[in-house]
Structure 1
């Protein structure tokens, strides 16, 4: 079954979730842009992380914007996450 699922692209979501995402550092925060496949498009999706007092804080960042290419969704993720950090600071994790 694994051969056929790969042949017909059924394993694509699993492969994307296994991909290693390099963080983008911004004002002490790490932004992980992880476009999510939705039907034949890609949704703006990712995480904002920061270590505060020895504890790793994480905020899941999901928006309804859809794009044809994952690179476009990731670019928007980075732009919106930076704006969110500028507005909220460490309040992102409240």
Structure 2
């Protein structure tokens, strides 16, 4: 099958999804739930510009929820709590 895909072109397409960040106290939170079977793992990024450089902290939880919307909402709440507790120390 690999030879035929190479000869005739692999017609798979990738879908680009644009995620709108949520601004919270100067931090940008990007909810990016990870699909696992029929459920979604809570994940995302927290970013902040410090001294002219964008710092990023990847945020992955063990929690799995049944819908993508629930995972995004829960991630925002967890990220806000994490920001309140650690601040810029998360980037060190």
Which has a greater percent of helix?
Answer: 1
Select the structure of larger CA radius of gyration.
2
Gaps of 5+ in 2: 1-9
Match of residue 87 from structure 2: 89
Runs of 4+ in structure 1 off by over 6 angstroms are: none
Count of paired positions: 83
TM-score by length of structure 2 reads 0.84
TM-score by length of structure 1 reads 0.82
Once the two structures are superposed, what CA deviation does each residue of 1:43-75 show, in whole Å capped at 9, x if it has no partner?
Answer: 001000000000000000000111111000000
Q: Which runs of structure 2 are paired with 1:9-88 in the superposition (5 Å)?
A: 14-15=14-15, 18-88=16-86
